[in-house]
Amino acid sequence: MSGIRDNGGVSLYRDEGVVLRTQKLGEADRIVTLLTRRTGLVRAVGKGVRRTKSRFGARLEPFSHVDLQLYTGRTLDVITQAETVRAYGESIVGDYSRYTAATAMLETAEKIVVVEKDPALRQFLLLIGALRTLGEGSHDSRLVLDAYLLRSLAVAGYAPALNECAKCGTRGEHRSFAVHAGGSVCTVCRPHGATHPAAQTLQLMLALLGGDWPAADASEERHRNECSGLVAAYLQWHLENGIRSLRLVERS
Ligand SMILES: [Zn+2]
């Protein structure tokens, strides 16, 4: 792996990552969970970061994009340096809808990548792209969140079927949607419990998945609501234990 060098028996490496979560450890330390560019999901100890004099404690907060130096520990790696690349938190924590959307993104990133130290570059790029877009405030926060969730699922191999029947593969825009079947389904395959979203809702999901922002921005509120509900149900179905913070996302 690039960036690793041996320093008297201690492996040092550099990487950059987004802080997903922090947990207290002992009196002054924190366990910091990050999604990194090269190493994937990393859980590392930030020593002394809860002390006010800590050199980099404030940089290791959720939503921060940081450049790091770490060494490989026996159980957890240890962070020895942290420099801020971009503090997305500044533009996110002051706005409730951005904050709840970003919180759901961080939780999803951790649960969708799952395995530690398994490179997940596309998930990392999706996450920093979504946090940047959210911070800019150029699109509705819920649309940014739903676009992120759909694309993150797609990268993980769980893209919902939207242009074909999830069961038989018949092409076309089918009007029924079944979370447990994998997306839209034709009238022949439609299982018990399938819903019947508006055609515009499925088109919105396609626009978000494909990054068609002009189409997504032009969508109506009721279709956004229906889309958010379907995306949330679909995500919860695919991820073990679900995403708790999705409950906080405002659904007007
Ligand atoms: Zn079918």
pLDDT tens digits along 87-129? 888 889 999 999 999 999 999 999 999 899 999 999 999 999 9
pLDDT confidence band for 252 (50 / 70 / 90): very low
- Tell me the three state secondary structure of residue 66: strand
d(CA 218, CA 246): 24
d(CA 103, CA 62): 9
Q: Strand pairing partners for 5?
A: 12
In this predicted structure, the answer to whether residue 4 has a pLDDT above a threshold of 60 is no
In this predicted structure, the answer to whether residue 161 has a pLDDT above a threshold of 90 is yes
pLDDT value, residue 75: 87
Q: Provide the token pair at 127.
A: 């996450």
C-alpha of residue 178 to centroid of ligand 1, in Å: 11
Mean pLDDT for all residues in the chain:
92
Q: Provide the token pair at 72.
A: 């490989």
For residues 240-249, average pLDDT: 79
C-alpha of residue 242 to centroid of ligand 1, in Å: 28
pLDDT value, residue 164: 95
Domain boundaries, the chain: 2-89, 92-251
C-alpha of residue 60 to centroid of ligand 1, in Å: 48
For residues 13-31, average pLDDT: 95
C-alpha of residue 136 to centroid of ligand 1, in Å: 41
pLDDT value, residue 186: 96
For residues 123-145, average pLDDT: 96
d(CA 118, CA 17): 14
The domain made up of 92-251 is a member of CATH 1.10.10.60: no
d(CA 80, CA 143): 37
C-alpha of residue 182 to centroid of ligand 1, in Å: 11
In this predicted structure, the answer to whether residue 241 has a pLDDT above a threshold of 90 is no
d(CA 176, CA 189): 10
pLDDT value, residue 251: 56
Q: Comparing C-alpha atoms, which of 62, 39, 63, 37 is closest to residue 116?
A: 39
C-alpha of residue 193 to centroid of ligand 1, in Å: 15
C-alpha of residue 56 to centroid of ligand 1, in Å: 55
Residues near ion ligand 1 (Cβ under 5 Å): 165, 167-168, 186, 189
pLDDT value, residue 250: 61
Q: Provide the token pair at 228.
A: 């958010």
C-alpha of residue 162 to centroid of ligand 1, in Å: 12
For residues 166-190, average pLDDT: 95
C-alpha of residue 6 to centroid of ligand 1, in Å: 56
Q: Can you spell out the DSSP letters for 68-120?
A: EEEE--SSSEEEEEEEEEEETHHHHTTSHHHHHHHHHHHHHHHHHH-SBT---
C-alpha of residue 164 to centroid of ligand 1, in Å: 8
pLDDT value, residue 68: 95
C-alpha of residue 67 to centroid of ligand 1, in Å: 48
The residue with greater pLDDT, 116 or 250, is 116
The residue with greater pLDDT, 234 or 49, is 234
C-alpha of residue 185 to centroid of ligand 1, in Å: 5
pLDDT value, residue 56: 81
What's the chain's Rg over C-alpha atoms? 20
C-alpha of residue 220 to centroid of ligand 1, in Å: 28
Q: Strand pairing partners for 79?
A: 46, 70
d(CA 144, CA 146): 6
- Tell me the three state secondary structure of residue 12: strand
Q: What is the CATH number of domain 2-89?
A: 2.40.50.140
Give the CA distances from residue 223 to residues 66, 119, 123, 151, 182, in Å, rounded to whole numbers and listed in that order. Answer: 37, 36, 27, 19, 20
C-alpha of residue 205 to centroid of ligand 1, in Å: 19
C-alpha of residue 28 to centroid of ligand 1, in Å: 57
pLDDT value, residue 1: 45
C-alpha of residue 149 to centroid of ligand 1, in Å: 25
In this predicted structure, the answer to whether residue 6 has a pLDDT above a threshold of 60 is no
Q: Strand pairing partners for 23?
A: 31
In this predicted structure, the answer to whether residue 60 has a pLDDT above a threshold of 70 is yes
pLDDT tens digits for 209-236? Answer: 999 999 999 999 999 999 999 999 999 9
